[in-house]
Amino acid sequence: MSKSTEPTLAVKVGTIAATLAAGWVAQKIIKTIWEKATGKEAPIDLDADDIPIVQAITFAAVTGGAAVMARRLAKQGVVKAVDRRAKKISTV
């Protein structure tokens, strides 16, 4: 990112779009891996009485970790892309 501490509008909009896309992909991957690893469908309502507390906590932790990772990687990718684009435009 540029030396300014305030992200540009392009970075903000790009980060939102990339985060939504990365979150959707991460959720699909987690669901698939969960179902293959446990043999059960991924929980939708973690407050449901038929879901054991350990399973609910584990799923919430995995999902939360994946969400943070997806958000951070998406932002880093957008910042790099915007910086590359800005450098390309400034050299023209």
Q: Is 51 exposed, middle or buried (0-12, 13-18, 19+ CB in 10 A)?
A: middle
Residue 16: inside a domain:
no
Q: What is the mean pLDDT of each successive set of 10 residues along the chain, which is 92 residues long?
A: 67 88 92 93 88 92 93 88 81 68
In a domain? residue 63: yes
Cα–Cα distances in angstroms (integers) from residue 26 to residues 16, 37, 72, in the given order: 15, 16, 13
Is residue 57 domain-resident? Answer: yes
pTM as predicted: 0.69
Confidence (pLDDT) at 29: 93
C-alpha to C-alpha distances, 89 to 45, 79, 86, nearest whole angstrom: 48, 15, 5
If one counts the domains in the chain, the total is 1
Tell me the residue range of the domain where 54 lies. 27-37+49-71
Domain annotation covers residue 11: no
Report the pLDDT value the prediction gives residue 59, as an integer from 0 to 100: 93
Q: Residue 85 has what pLDDT?
A: 81
pLDDT of amino acid 4? 59
